[in-house]
Amino acid sequence: MTRVSVVIPCLNEAATIGECVGLARAALDEGGLDGEVLVVDNGSTDRSGELARAAGARVVEEPRRGYGRAYLTGFGEARGDYLVMVDADLTYDFGEIPRFVRELDDGAELVMGDRMHGIAPGAMPALSRIGNPLLSGFLNLIYRTGVKDVHCGMRAVRRDVLPRLELRATGMELASEMVIRAAKAGLVIRELPIELHPRGGQSKLSPFRDGWRHLRLMLVHSPNALFLVPGAAMVVVGSLAALTVFARLPVFGHQFYVHTLLVACGLVIVGLQVIGLGLCARAYGVYVLRDRDPWLERMQSRFRLEHGLILGAVLLLAGLVLGGIMVGKWAARGFGTLSEERLAVLSVTFVIAGTQVFFTSFLLSIIGLKKDVEG
């Protein structure tokens, strides 16, 4: 039985891949670890695959390029109970492999390297020295993983937890996705301080493109940050502005009129829609991606489809009543100039809000059908 698979993605690394394979093999032997070195040739146009085989690696081909895609293929082909991930550019010390394995033996499910206090001169560009801590800090602000160096390329994971992670990212953002999914799944995550050395060969990184892909993935996996917080902010600001208009309160010495009310009610409508999208995204995470979301599960146990339908109907009815009052006042004036603009805007806002709540409740119920069927 193979205990450890060292998985190395490789794209045109002829200058370093042979040495990497040799160092990985030596680390396994010196650590007394039964293992294999698996190189995923990610569409190389040089002799990388040939050199890796000659150095003693098992090579699998993945012609569809992408850092994440190479690793996903490697995970599927690996035979080991433990998977150690290392880049093919000599930036990491392969001699650290036994340390990562010992942490897994000691109960860890995901072991991350932390490079940030062991960066050799010239090993990391200035932009990455700034960008990595910022992205790691933002990820921890949202997900509270406690991982200091989210994008370290040297890490180890237990093979049996991979199905719980359901990794999908095909690019560099796989590094962020693994940490996010591990945190959501409640895995035991540990970090080890390691050193980062200057790379051999030519870098394939694109700081701005890769940074955006990491940031995009962080937001996509966080309905709170992407939908619920901005939506709630819009509803609060819009509601306060609308109340200011109806109370005819002067703000900074100026009176707010109907044009302000239009903007305020527009914010409320858009905010409610964004909140609805956020709730649907969280439901999708629970029922389809199998994320843990205790808050949503509590809410779903207390509130049912009928509660949302009743709330939507009440808002819709309130809007129609306000509209009826407005039409009545207009008729009393002989259908001349409409002088109840504020009432008209409020009526339409309630009608739209009620409609949103009504149909969003149905959509949430549809997403939850997967659980009902399985349960």
26's tokens:
């030596």
Counting the structural domains of the chain, the total is 2
**Do 312 and 291 fall within a single domain?**
yes
Residue with tokens 């085989």, as numbered in its chain: 53
Same domain? 87 vs 113: yes
Structural domain that includes position 103? 4-220
DSSP state of 340: -
Please tell me whether residues 194 and 265 are part of one structural domain.
Answer: no
Residue where one domain finishes, among candidates 175, 202, 220: 220
Shared-domain flag, residues 157 and 137: yes
**208 and 119 inside one domain:** yes
Per-residue pLDDT of the chain (375 residues; tens, 9 = 90+): 689 999 999 999 999 999 999 999 999 999 999 999 999 999 999 999 999 999 999 999 999 999 999 999 999 999 999 999 999 999 999 999 999 999 999 999 999 999 998 999 988 888 888 888 999 999 999 999 999 999 999 999 999 999 999 999 999 999 999 999 999 889 999 999 999 999 876 776 777 788 888 888 898 888 989 999 999 999 999 999 888 887 776 554 455 577 888 999 999 999 999 999 999 988 887 777 677 777 777 776 777 888 889 999 999 999 999 888 888 887 777 776 666 778 888 899 999 999 999 999 999 888 877 554 444
Quick one: 236 and 346 in the same domain? yes
Same domain, 131 and 14: yes
* Of 68, 299, 264, 275, the residue nearest 165 (C-alpha): 68
- Asked which of 186, 220, 254 is the last residue of a domain, the reply is 220
For residues 215 and 230, membership in a common domain is answered with no
Check if the beta carbon of residue 171 is closer than 8 Å to that of residue 67: yes
Q: Are residues 236 and 195 in the same domain?
A: no
* Among candidate residues 194, 220, 246, the one where a domain is terminated: 220
- By C-alpha distance, which of 304, 279, 273 is closest to 293? 279
